[in-house]
Amino acid sequence: MYLRVQMRCCWLTTMGESIVKIDFAMLTAKEVLRLRLLTYIEDQQGHFNLTDFATVAEISYSRAYHSLLNLRTDLQQLDATTTLTKDALETTVTLDEYRHWLYQHSLPYLVMVASLTAEYASTAAFCAAHQVSLSTLNRRLRPMKQQLTQYNLQLVATPLRLTGNETLIQLLYFMLYTTTLTPISELPGLPDKLRPLHDALMTTYTTSKLYQESPGLKYRRDLLITLALLRLSQGYRYPALRLPLAHLTDLRQLATQFQQQLGDTPQQALTELATLDYLLTTSPYFVRALQPDAMSRLYRGLRQRTTPAYELAPGVVELADFATGHDWFANWLFALCQFMLLFKVDPFMRAEITALYRPTPESTAAGTAIITSMGSLYPQQVGVADQRLIQKYLSKYTNGLSLTAAKVEILVSHDMYGVTTDIFNRLLSGVVHVSLLTEQTAIVDHQRANYLVIYGVDEAAVSFAQRHHLETFHWIKELDYGENFDRLLRTLRHHELSLFALDFNNRGTHLES
């Protein structure tokens, strides 16, 4: 069954409202402008009109020209043969390479990396090493600290480190490195005694047949495992999960290896592995990469635990088919609710979701149904305060069940690494295989005008659009870096939109470890 899941997009009424995203927390306005300029130049195949760019970017020609000069200086550091004039560019540097280079040289990124490597005894030592004043560093870190606050994390000055829930700390690093296009080879190396554990974990989760595999998924899985072991080598361990969870992985053999390699007790090993397994499988960050039969197996186990049998959202017709595991949106809502119960935070730290997606009576009722039903899995462990908090968070996401009168569906396929500022990255951060879209979507002939396929590097999405004669929109080429998505939507359609939003990560090339 194809579930028509849509999101009502409420336009941002206060455009001056401060919405900090994790990538903008690292880059300055001037750096973002240079990225927009390089994107524009690439769109024009290297031959461009700077006046046109200034018009599109709504800036003066003088500012555009100064941005071009700074861009040329940057690119020549990466490729000495680069030539950039006011109307032509020749370089071997790609947009992704340039973006990553900017991150590598940003103070917030360097501070976050330093907090992981533990190489500086204090913030003062960091400032001395990078020849910046403490006041400059504090000013540049202010947006990043706002991000940390949303996870109840703090950046401590002496020694320079993050404090808070260890699981959330690792997820913060995980989002930092995926957003900044950082290959695993740039992370600190693992101690020799932990390499066998890394290999065992990678083998277990690669051969488990739990996932719909893709290069992007492989990178993200390796990244999370590497981060977990790095923190473990520094003496940091996951706290025990607040609630008992059902697991899709047999952890006994891995637990034995942890005991042998680290001298852990059985309880220590299982506590560490239970959290890591949850993050790699049914957390919101990976749940949409799972095979439908894996989710179906999980649901079967849950339905046997309660009387009457567990239902995801009793009374919400759109989610009635959740138990099949094929309904990606139902799987995602389940994962969101579970995460919020475990950690009492919104997993995506997205202030812009609050601004753009307003809860409706229907979405609030659906959110209440989901949290109430999940609470039945944990009697006496989920209180009224939990339910109120989760329902407040969740009702933004269950807004995806609301249908608009226009019923325009946007089928979104884009590369997470190539696009780091869009609303879909923020709202639907995760991995899902393109087959879930193409297998579940039935295009009605007389409604072709109601569909728009948005794609990045996904050939499967393009062929799907061509096969069904659907309008296409290239996300990267036709969207200026940092452009507000709500503004763009107004130009795409002149009536109210609902969004069918999926985040695909099936890039043809991937970050090498």
pLDDT in tens, 351-405: 444 444 567 787 788 899 999 999 999 989 999 999 999 988 888 777 655 422 2
**Percent of the chain topping pLDDT 90:** 50
Per-residue pLDDT, 460: 66
Segment 102-118 mean pLDDT: 94
Split at pLDDT 50, 70, 90, the class of 495 is very low
Tokens of 466: 């061509």
Mean pLDDT, the chain, whole residue set: 78
Under a CB-based contact definition with an 8 Å cutoff, are residues 147 and 426 in contact?
no
Under a CB-based contact definition with an 8 Å cutoff, are residues 459 and 508 in contact?
yes
Segment 471-492 mean pLDDT: 49
Containing 113, the helix (H) or strand (E) segment is helix 107-117
Q: What is the pLDDT of residues 227-280, one digit of tens each?
A: 999 999 999 999 999 999 999 999 999 999 999 999 999 999 999 999 999 999
Sheet holding 451-455, edge to edge: 409-412, 451-455, 471-474
Cα–Cα distances (Å) from 125 to 121, 128, 137, in that order, read: 6, 5, 12
DSSP code for 25: T
* Burial (CB count within 10 angstroms: exposed 0-12, middle 13-18, buried 19+), residue 76: middle
pLDDT at 324 over 80: yes
Place of tokens 């989710």: 295
Under a CB-based contact definition with an 8 Å cutoff, are residues 160 and 122 in contact?
yes
Kind of pairing between the strands at 451-455 and 471-474: parallel
Say which residue, 152 or 458, is predicted with more confidence.
Answer: 152
Split at pLDDT 50, 70, 90, the class of 139 is very high
Split at pLDDT 50, 70, 90, the class of 438 is low
Peptide bond before 308: cis, by omega within 30 degrees of 0?
Answer: yes
Per-residue pLDDT, 362: 79
Minimum mean pLDDT among 32-46, 92-106, 406-420: which range?
406-420
Segment 156-172 mean pLDDT: 94
Tokens of 369: 């149904």
The domains found in the chain, sorted by start residue, are: 7-13+404-499 (no CATH), 29-104 (1.10.10), 287-401 (no CATH)
Q: What is the pLDDT of residues 398-414, one digit of tens each?
A: 765 542 222 233 343 32
- Quick one: how far is CA 513 from the chain centroid? 20
pLDDT at 165 over 50: yes
